[in-house]
Structure 1
């Protein structure tokens, strides 16, 4: 009987998490930004979820609400399962942080628009090195260092 109650509790806790993960990805972007569309297409393909693009001329308010440090601001912000992803964050890093949910991390950011990052691939041009930064109540730290999108 005790094992049935434990199983029922585990299922009850798992259902809301699964339901939350099935929600759409919402991307707030600078109006008319073309590289955001390229990044979003990659994210949509990798996550296999619906995505809603929002042209947002006042993204500063969104950045403040999610605690995105000013030095990390880029051209778009994606909200995925309650976490914020600023700029051209590699999809693999998004999946990793969503799976790990490190304490004190509200999201990841890639400042600027590094050549070769997700959505910023330029044929014939060497990709730039860049840092994927974690931010949140625990502060800011380098989550990973990358060259290119993969």
Structure 2
């Protein structure tokens, strides 16, 4: 009986483990270079394979995944059912993926603020920016940097 229960518990946890290790798909404006730096940081800090795809039709993708137009940026990453728009810090992505707050479809950093993940410039002061959570609960500040 214990063996069956252990096997059943292992089986039930496997889909979650597989989901947690899913690839990251990043759709970007064609030719955007800063997305590569951000994607390398995602791969290093999340430990997942990152698939980069040029996508001239990203406005349709953003609408489909619920990114409010005022928070658009140069790339959209799709991870475990969430959308991450722009240069979202990986620490904020990890927090969202760990907590999975109700009513949130993803996080966004509007534009391309200097100093945000992937937009670091040596010798240049970082800009302040907000990370916005969006979804059924409406947009709200998730983090300030």
Check whether TM > 0.5: yes
Q: Whole-Å Cα distance in 2 between the matches of residues 48 and 54 of structure 1?
A: 19
1:53-132 matched pairs, under 5 angstroms = 53-132=52-131
Q: Whole-Å Cα distance in 2 between the matches of residues 138 and 115 of structure 1?
A: 28
Aligned to 1:137: 136
Aligned to 2:20: 21
Q: Whole-Å Cα distance in 2 between the matches of residues 10 and 142 of structure 1?
A: 37
CA change 1:5–1:103 in 2 (3 A) is farther
CA shift, 1:17, in A, is 1.1
Structure 2: gaps spanning 5 or more residues: none
More strand by share: 1
* Structure 1: 4+ residue segments shifted above 6 A: 3-6
Q: How many residues are paired up?
A: 145
Q: Whole-Å Cα distance in 1 between the matches of residues 49 and 102 of structure 2?
A: 27
Q: Whole-Å Cα distance in 1 between the matches of residues 21 and 84 of structure 2?
A: 17
Length-normalised TM-score, structure 2? 0.93
Cα RMSD of the aligned pairs, angstroms, is 1.5
Q: Whole-Å Cα distance in 2 between the matches of residues 82 and 64 of structure 1?
A: 15
Q: Whole-Å Cα distance in 2 between the matches of residues 10 and 129 of structure 1?
A: 45
- Cα displacement string for residues 92-134 of structure 1 (whole angstroms, at most 9, x for unaligned residues): 0001100000011110000000000001001111001000000
SS at match of 1:129: coil
Length-normalised TM-score, structure 1? 0.90
SS at match of 2:141: strand
